Structure formats: structure tokens, C-alpha cells
Structure 1
Amino acid sequence: MQDVKQSETPEQLKLENQVCFPLYSAANEVVRAYRPFLAAHDLSYLQYLVLMVLWDAQELEVKALGQRLNLDSGTLSPLLKRMEAKGFVLRKRGSDDERVRLISTTEKGEQMRDAVADMPKLVACQLGLELDELKQLKRLCEKVLAAS
């Protein structure tokens, strides 16, 4: 066997110099912070996101919901089926085009809005950031997303 000569890793390839790793880790930490609060309401993080979009939009086509959440149909369809089985959403066919699937909240889904109203404050407290820091972090994340 040949000895492989170890060369020094260039600075730009060192993990501690990457923006991707702390961003990835922080995103996971934020989602983990939500879990205990959401579990008390039998919700996953993605189900919570779906409800937030539907509370604002009332009713949406599945395609539009997927675009809003950056989720493909392979992720969204089973998620919506589980939410329907739990009684949070109603899936129906479009009246003009039966290929179109429409999603809306049920009464139980609407009631969940009040049940989770304090969720952002609870999670913010867990993250240990001030309100202005959270707003700055959100703006920076939106800037990254807009550039992609």
C-alpha cells in the first residue's frame, strides 16, 4: 500500500469557515425547539407550517401550498393525508377541474390557531435571542432564499 500524503486543508474548506454548517445546525435547533410545544397539540413542525399558511389563505390549491412552503408533492401529499386523518384539514377536488386538489382547515384546524398562539414567544425564549436579533436573522434568511 502506498502512503497517502496528507496535505493541509485550505482555509476555505475548513468546516469552521463555512456558513452552511452553522446555518444547517441552527435550522435544526430551531425546529427542535418547536417539537415539545407542537407535540402537546399532536402536530409536527411541517403540519404547523401548513396550518399557518391555511389560516392566512383560507383555501389553497395543493400546488400553491407546496410552492409557498417549498415542498414537493412527494412530501406534501402524505403530510396532508395525515393532517386530514387527524381532522385538521379537508382535501377536496376543484369544482372547475377535478384534477385540482384544494386544501382548507376544518373547525379543529381553525381552533388550533388559538391553541398555538403563544408558540412564537415560547420558541423565541428558548432560542436565547432578542427580538431585534430574531428579526435580523429572519431578514438574512429571506435574503438568502430570494437570491436562490
Structure 2
Amino acid sequence: MGANSRLTIATHALAWMALNERSGAELTTSEQIAGSVKTNPVVIRRLMSEMGKAGLISSQRGANAGWRLAKAPEAISLRDINDALGAEAAFAMHRNEPSAICPVARGIRPALAPVYARVDDAVSRELAATSLADVLRDTLGVDGA
């Protein structure tokens, strides 16, 4: 089971947009972002659609199409981005109903549910505590840029 990279890609895209805007650009295209992420522009457009629905970015259509951040990078948290992507729980119960005659099967869900809820709360708090501006600052600090 692999980890989901959508939050990483979306955050990369929005950080790139923030840097592009800081450099004076009014709009960013999917091709520009895709070049940095090293993915297909279609992947970026799908993510940007979700970011737009969440109000994190706005778009301009037509000959000079592109996106811009709808909020300052300081006002966008990683939780906002994750929520825009349809955040899912870190862990889930098994899909099949466990055996009613097994004592472990009867008790596993009630035992794990509060643990999983605490994990999800901790993840949500951590993501809320980090802004897009924090990510961009830390990213640029890696190579001394």
C-alpha cells in the first residue's frame, strides 16, 4: 500500500504559484507547474480544479489562461489544501463485517476507532499549523535560494 502524494503535489503547485507571483507574474499555467513537478499538465489541471472549488485559487480563461492564488500564502494552511483534496482518514476499518462469534472481531472496531480518531486529529492539527508561506520559506532555504 503506497502513500498518497496528492497533498505533496498540490502543495508543490501552490508554492510554485506563490513564488511565481512573488516574482511579478500575474498568472501561472499548468505547463509551468508541471515542468517543476515533472508530471503531466493534466494532473496539475485536475488538482487546480479542486483548489479552485475550495477557494484557494482563482482562474482566468481564454488566450491568457492561468491561475493565481486567491489568498495570501500565509492564509493557506496545509489543512486547507488537504481538505480541498477531500482529505481521508489516515486509517480505516476493514471493509468486511468481522465475525460476530469472535471476541477479537467484536471488539476490534470499538478499540481502534478512538485511536484512529486521535491520529486524524493530530494530523489535522499539524497540517493546520503549517502555512503555504512556511513551506515556501523552508523550501527556498534548502538550497540557499
TM-score range for the pair, normalised by the shorter chain length: 0.3 to 0.5
Q: Name which structure has the greater RCO, CA cutoff 8 Å, separation 6+.
A: 2
Whose helix fraction is larger, Structure 1's or Structure 2's?
1
Give the structure-1-normalised TM-score: 0.43
Give the structure-2-normalised TM-score: 0.44
Larger Rg: 1
